[in-house]
C-alpha cells in the first residue's frame, strides 16, 4: 500500500508528490494521459516570483517578459514596461515533464494512461479505481489521496466536496507571427465577453493566441485571428484550437477524510487573469505540509486535514475574493466604459504610478484593484455601476 496516491500529473499533482516523497513517503501519481509531455491548453506565463520560489528549470523557459501592450476596445494603447523581467513563458508540456522528473528522482511512481474512475474512502485506507485504455479495471490502495485533476473533474463532485462556484472557458492556438515581440492583451466585451484575449510570442516567429470568455471561446478566437491576420500580426488563421476551463471561485470544500484537493480542481486560480500555475504550486506545498503532519500521527480524518484549507485560505483567500469581485465588476462594464477607464488611466498618469508601486505584481492583484476603485478620477464610473462589493473587503482601501 502506498502512503499517498495523487491523481493528476499536472504541476500541482507533481509538486505535492515531490514534497511528500522528499519527506520519505511512498507516493504514486496516477495520470490519464499516455505521456507526461502531452500538449496542454495553457499559455504558460508564470511570474518571476514563481520561477524563483519553485526553482523552475531554465530549460523549460521559452522567453522573458518585461513588457506588455494592452489595447482597449477602440484600440487605445497602454504600454506597460519594467526594467526587470516580470514573468516568463514556459513550454507547458516540458514544464509538466520537468516537475514530474523531479518527483521521480525522489522515488515517486507514475502510472500513466490510467484514468481514475472512482475513489472509495475506507476506515484504514483509500481505494483508487482506475481503468487502462484497454478497458481493464484495476485498483490501488493508499493511506491518503490527493486530487489534482485540474478543472472540471467529476471525481471531486462524486466525493461530496461540491463543485467550483463559477468558471470561464478558454481557447488557444499556436500561430506564425510577423514582427510581434511583445505580449499583447486585448480587452472588449465584443471581443472576449467578460475576460480578455492575448497574443503571446514564444519565439521570433511563433506565438500563442488565445482568449477566455463567458461563452463560445472558439467562435471569438476565430474572429480575433481573422482580425490579427488583417492587421498583419499573424500569417494565417489555419491553426487547430485547444480548449480548457478555468475556475473563478474555489471549491466548496478542499479536504475530506483521507483526502485533499489541490490546484485548479480546488479552484486555486487568480480570477483576474485565470493564471493557476503559481497558486496551485503554493497550495501543493501547503497540502504536503498538512498531510505530512497527519501521516506522521496517523490521524487522517477530515477534522485533522482541515488546517490545509485554513492555511491556503489565509494565504490566498482575500486575493481570490477581491479578484473575483474585480472580475465581476469588469463584466458589468460596457466597451465605452472600458475605453473611458483607459483614457483616465493614461491622462491621470495612473499607469505610471502603478508601474512604480511595489504592490503591482504579476501574482497579487487585490491591492491594485482596491487602489483603482479608491481612485478619485475613476470613482464616477465605479459608483455608476454599483458593484456588489463585500463591505468587509473595503478595509485597507487606499484612496
* Distance from C-alpha of 219 to C-alpha of 192, rounded to nearest angstrom: 10
* Distance from C-alpha of 336 to C-alpha of 283, rounded to nearest angstrom: 38
Compare residues 124 and 181 and give the one whose CB is closer to ligand FAD.
181
Candidate ranges 105-113, 133-141, 273-281, 335-343; the one touching ligand FAD (CB under 6 A)? 273-281
Long-range contact set of residues 203-209: C-beta below 8 Å, sequence gap at least 24 = 203/62, 203/63, 205/176, 205/177, 206/174, 206/175, 206/176, 206/177, 207/174, 207/175, 207/176, 207/177, 207/180, 207/234, 208/43, 208/44, 208/172, 208/173, 208/174, 208/175, 209/172, 209/173, 209/175, 209/234
Using CB under 6 A as the binding criterion, the count of chain residues that bind ligand FAD stands at 39
- Here's the x/- map for ligand FAD, 135-164, by CB under 6 A: it reads as -------------xxx--x-x---------
Binding residue for ligand FAD (CB under 6 A) from 4, 5, 6, 7? Answer: 7
Compare residues 7 and 207 and give the one whose CB is closer to ligand FAD.
7
Compare residues 277 and 350 and give the one whose CB is closer to ligand FAD.
277
* Distance from C-alpha of 8 to C-alpha of 317, rounded to nearest angstrom: 24
- Terminal Cα distance for the chain, rounded: 57
* Distance from C-alpha of 297 to C-alpha of 308, rounded to nearest angstrom: 16
244 is an interface residue for ligand FAD by CB under 6 A: yes
Candidate ranges 37-45, 76-84, 304-312, 354-362; the one touching ligand FAD (CB under 6 A)? 37-45
**333 phi/psi in degrees, rounded to 5:** -80, 145
C-alpha cell at 260: 485533499
Candidate ranges 58-66, 263-271, 344-352, 378-386; the one touching ligand FAD (CB under 6 A)? 263-271
* Distance from C-alpha of 273 to C-alpha of 147, rounded to nearest angstrom: 23
Q: Which of residues 41-80 bind ligand FAD (CB under 6 A)?
A: 41-46
Q: Which of 294, 288, 284, 7 is nearest to 128 (CA)?
A: 7
Binding residue for ligand FAD (CB under 6 A) from 9, 161, 187, 192? Answer: 9
Collapse the DSSP code of 237 into the 3-class scheme (helix H, G, I; strand E, B; otherwise coil) and give the result: coil
Task: Kindly state the smallest distance separating residue 36's Cβ from ligand FAD, in Å.
Answer: 8
Binding residue for ligand FAD (CB under 6 A) from 119, 277, 369, 378? Answer: 277
271 is an interface residue for ligand FAD by CB under 6 A: no
What's the chain's length in residues?
A: 399
- Here's the x/- map for ligand FAD, 81-110, by CB under 6 A: it reads as ------------------------------
Q: What is the chain's percent helix, strand, coil content, to nearest 5? A: 40, 25, 35
**Which DSSP category does 391 fall into?**
G
Binding residue for ligand FAD (CB under 6 A) from 4, 5, 11, 338? Answer: 11
Task: Kindly state the smallest distance separating residue 343's Cβ from ligand FAD, in Å.
Answer: 28
Compare residues 153 and 304 and give the one whose CB is closer to ligand FAD.
153
Binding residue for ligand FAD (CB under 6 A) from 145, 170, 267, 271? Answer: 170
Residues that bind ligand FAD (CB under 6 A): 7-13, 30-33, 41-46, 115-116, 148-150, 153, 155, 170, 172, 210, 244, 246, 263-265, 269, 274-278, 280
Amino acid at each position: 500500500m502506498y502512503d499517498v496516491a495523487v491523481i493528476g500529473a499536472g504541476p500541482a499533482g507533481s509538486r505535492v508528490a515531490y514534497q511528500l516523497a522528499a519527506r520519505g513517503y511512498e507516493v504514486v501519481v496516477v495520470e490519464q494521459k499516455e505521456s507526461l509531455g502531452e500538449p496542454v491548453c495553457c499559455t504558460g506565463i508564470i511570474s518571476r516570483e514563481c520561477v524563483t520560489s519553485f526553482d523552475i528549470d531554465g530549460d523549460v523557459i521559452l522567453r522573458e517578459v518585461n513588457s506588455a501592450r494592452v489595447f482597449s476596445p477602440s484600440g487605445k494603447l497602454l504600454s506597460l514596461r519594467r526594467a526587470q523581467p516580470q514573468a516568463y513563458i514556459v513550454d507547458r508540456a516540458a514544464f509538466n515533464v520537468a516537475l514530474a522528473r523531479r518527483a521521480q528522482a525522489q522515488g515517486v511512481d507514475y502510472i500513466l494512461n490510467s484514468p481514475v474512475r472512482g475513489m472509495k474512502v475506507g476506515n484504514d485506507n483509500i481505494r483508487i479505481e482506475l481503468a487502462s485504455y484497454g478497458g481493464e479495471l484495476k485498483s490501488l490502495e493508499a493511506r491518503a489521496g490527493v486530487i489534482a485533476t485540474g478543472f472540471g473533474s467529476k471525481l471531486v463532485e462524486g466525493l461530496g466536496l461540491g463543485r467550483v462556484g463559477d468558471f470561464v472557458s478558454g481557447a488557444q492556438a499556436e500561430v506564425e507571427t510577423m514582427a510581434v515581440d511583445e505580449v499583447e492583451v486585448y480587452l472588449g466585451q465584443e471581443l472576449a465577453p467578460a475576460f480578455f484575449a492575448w497574443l503571446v510570442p514564444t519565439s521570433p516567429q511563433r506565438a500563442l493566441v488565445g482568449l477566455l470568455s463567458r461563452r463560445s471561446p472558439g467562435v471569438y478566437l476565430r474572429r480575433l485571428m481573422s482580425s490579427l491576420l488583417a492587421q498583419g500580426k499573424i500569417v494565417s488563421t489555419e491553426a487547430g484550437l485547444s480548449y480548457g476551463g478555468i475556475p473563478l471561485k474555489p471549491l466548496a470544500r478542499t479536504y475530506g477524510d483521507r483526502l485533499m484537493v489541490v490546484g485548479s480542481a480546488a479552484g486555486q486560480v487568480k480570477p483576474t487573469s485565470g493564471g493557476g500555475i503559481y497558486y496551485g504550486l503554493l497550495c501543493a506545498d501547503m497540502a504536503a505540509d498538512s498531510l505530512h503532519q497527519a501521516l506522521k500521527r496517523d490521524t487522517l480524518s477530515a477534522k485533522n486535514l482541515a488546517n490545509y484549507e485554513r492555511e491556503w485560505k489565509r494565504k490566498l483567500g482575500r486575493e481570490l475574493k477581491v479578484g473575483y469581485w474585480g472580475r465581476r465588476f469588469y463584466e458589468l462594464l460596457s466597451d465605452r466604459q472600458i475605453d473611458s477607464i483607459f483614457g483616465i488611466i493614461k491622462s491621470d498618469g495612473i499607469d505610471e504610478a502603478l508601474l512604480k508601486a511595489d504592490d503591482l505584481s504579476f501574482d497579487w492583484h487585490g491591492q491594485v484593484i482596491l487602489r483603482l476603485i479608491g481612485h478619485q478620477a475613476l470613482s464616477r464610473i465605479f459608483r455608476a455601476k454599483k458593484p456588489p462589493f463585500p463591505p468587509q473587503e473595503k478595509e485597507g482601501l487606499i484612496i
